[in-house]
Chain A
């Protein structure tokens, strides 16, 4: 290995990554927003940890479980990202890989660059680290132990991710992907122990994430540590380094998968659209079995099915399920001790289903609106296309939350009706408004930051128009109404939603006639 080559390559990677800062002052502003936006949360977190430690309450085992679940999720995400194989930017494929360079030199430079990028992203966590040491008055040796174990965990995870990416690239077989998925499942399975009284808990398993979590919790809560935990973590570092070294000299250059070069702080319009496209395509499931019914007699049915297929095959559905499931897990975990027959959790989940319509409309604007040239230039009646899009949105925005809410309601024996009363209007109103705003601001809405503003605008408008629904739905819970009055108020919520949906559908049909694509 040649150090000067590695350092040159590292410098190039850093320059490319920070290129966005040189291009626009807005990128620097975005970095400040990121850091400043996270600081209050970090301060709040550190104060609550310090408070918990000083008051001496809390179950250390549960803390280990939760922290190990988070760090296991980081490892699992790293392994899942490796399923794509080794990724490279176009400039790397065309310029770097065609130069007389050894694979290991490239990998070491990438490792150093990744570590640097990570330092930028976890920068707010350094505040947490420093404030914890100062507020808890931790001795220097223990402070150093926290830092070193965090460093070892991060470095080992990067080595492991690189190893799996290389294995996937070099031996592109089903068993490789299967093995990686099994490891992810094994890593995440003990999360059950947090929700249920299951013996399968992170605390009882020798996972690297558990060892890391144990060191942190022991140092912060008890000002001590178990030596075998540190040794175990060191062993994890050695093993992942051996794994990395065993494949890092193989020529993977011809096997890399090209990814678009977009700095996370690039705020240009092109970058924003590409970022969203690549995020969505990351979850693309083109090979799903559902296909279009070529024999369909009804144009509307045909078009609805086409839209649902788009949502599935382009990966929007997978992204929606993933995000909504994560949200549901977070809400369920945080409110599980208080559920016991109360519908509040399900109502919260129903209310949050608004994000599904925002995501559906946002993805449609980015990925599908550009295909409107075909119906718009063909003289086709555009109304069935808009209707089909709306109905497909409604189908998805109802079925995803239902698939999550029903099992939770059965598990916790909670009546799902109040949640459904919120869910249906949220879907009808949310989808129709989001689609309308997407169409209305189609030209502007695809430009950079504006596209994010469009999403916020439509969510705000939806919530504003949903307010009467929330009031009508809450009435039977707040004051004792007769069954007949409750039914009338709920029916009122439904009728109101349908009216709003129809109004915005008409407005969308009108707006689409005047768009330029």
Chain B
């Protein structure tokens, strides 16, 4: 399958911290791809670079074959993005916010209303449409952000910890939406700490550690790479791989110092 998102030797540092160190990654069309890694591994930085909120120091990022450092805007029309640290215009009501999300994407008003009706019904937010975002719970605001990412029917969904704060029914619905979108040819790229969810939901995952991709592929292929057992869970594979890399890097550090 053709790569939808491709990262080649991407480096990024900020505030004296090297967040990405030559990251290579490939997300294929029609899959749910999970980006896993411990805290500070560079997951959020990776997603923010792809959606254009951060600029990489060097490397190449391609979305549907478009080099994003050359063509910085058009490719974003294909993307729906939900950040981890949600900052929403809390002074707007839910429907004002969704109308704003649609309008800046040049969607016609009736189309926005149609999508708004559909998704607010689906996420059980219909009665909250006239409520200020400020008055909504964390989970409801997360749902609002997800609707905003879906409103223009994007081909690629990029979501940073999308399940945080959402109730079990909402999480189930979200997973169904992801599966349905992939079935229709879309691509879903999520970053998550929920390894159980990733194991059940994702077709392939990548484990990144200190800004590098230490393993990627399906669970079966990761089991082989990590030499875990046939029945090893993603959690066991993840811990084994990250622990090995940690030891390896520590040895390298000691050698370099000596």
Q: Taking beta carbons and an 8 Å cutoff, which residues of A are in contact with B?
A: 286, 291-292, 294-295, 297, 299, 302-303, 306, 309-310, 313-314, 368, 370-371, 373-381, 384-385, 513-514, 516-517
Contact = CB atoms under 8 A, between A and B. Distances in A.
B105 A380 contact: yes
Nearest to A370: B87
B185 interface: no
A371 B92 CA distance: 12
Contact of B74 (A303, A313, A379, A384): A379
B234 to A, nearest CB: 28
B105 to A, nearest CB: 6
B252 to A, nearest CB: 30
Interface residues of B, number: 35
Contact of B89 (A294, A368, A376, A378): A368
Nearest to B158: A377
A385 B104 contact: yes
A377 B132 contact: no
Highest count of chain A CB atoms <10 Å: which of B104, B113, B152: B104
Interface string B40-63: 000000000001111100000000
Contact of A291 (B53, B87, B93, B101): B93
B104 A294 contact: no
Contacts of A374: 100-101, 104, 148
Interface in B23-74: 51-55, 72-74
A286 B109 contact: no
Contacts, number: 89
Interface of B: 51-55, 72-77, 79, 81, 83, 87-89, 91-93, 95-96, 99-101, 103-106, 109, 113, 132, 134, 148, 152
Contacts of B51: 377
Nearest to A516: B54
Contacts of A375: 104
A376 B101 contact: no
B79 A377 contact: yes
B89 A377 contact: no
Given A385-B104, A517-B53, A309 B74 contact: no
A229 B87 CA distance: 55
A517 B106 CA distance: 23
B91 A310 contact: yes
B100 A313 contact: no
Contact of B103 (A302, A313, A371, A376): A302
A379 B105 contact: yes
B104 A378 contact: yes
A291 B91 contact: no
B79 to A, nearest CB: 7
Contacts of B77: 378-379
Contacts of A294: 95-96, 99, 109, 113
B53 A516 contact: yes
A377 B76 CA distance: 6
A383 to B, nearest CB: 11
Contacts of B53: 373, 376-377, 516-517
A309 B83 contact: no
B142 to A, nearest CB: 14
B207 to A, nearest CB: 25
B59 to A, nearest CB: 16
B67 to A, nearest CB: 15
A396 to B, nearest CB: 15
Given A377-B51, A377-B79, A516-B55, A292 B104 contact: no
Contact of B83 (A306, A373, A384, A516): A373
A379 B75 contact: yes
